[in-house]
Amino acid sequence: MSPSDLPLVAALLLVAVAATVSVLTRDPVRQAVVLAVLGLLLALLFLLLHAPDVALSQLAVGAAVTPLLILLTARSLRRSAGRDTRGHDDGDSRREGHEGREGREGREGREGGA
């Protein structure tokens, strides 16, 4: 291994660590941040491999668009979850299943609150 290979080996190790962290991260917001860092590291790796066109594409998609979509989706899901848990009952039993809210609460009481 020559000294000129050291940046490539370092970039490969950083990409491997960032990819592992992104898989192990459970929170979508943190995962989006880790994916953005992973996208930047991959772009750096592609630059080191003399593929500037691929690096530019990786910057646009992997470091910007994908994390942004994940953040927007997480925000949308949290907003819709907030609306569903405010206790408003609009009479739509399809969301509650066939048994409705009273049936589910009764079942949870019999099962010990699980």
Per residue in 3-53, pLDDT (tens digit) is 889 999 999 999 999 999 999 999 999 999 999 999 999 999 999 999 999
* Residue 89 predicted with pLDDT over 60: no
Q: In terms of Cα–Cα distance, which of 35, 94, 19 is closest to 67?
A: 35
User: What pTM value is reported for the model?
Assistant: 0.68
* Residue 104 predicted with pLDDT over 60: no
Which residues contact residue 67 at a Cβ distance below 8 angstroms, ignoring those fewer than 6 apart? 32, 33, 35, 36, 39
pLDDT number for residue 106:
58
DSSP string, 17-56: HHHHHHHH--SHHHHHHHHHHHHHHHHHHHHHTT-HHHHH
What is the residue-averaged pLDDT of the chain?
84
The string over 63-83, giving b where at least 16 C-beta atoms fall within 10 Å of a residue's C-beta and e elsewhere, is beebbeebbeeeeeeeeeeee
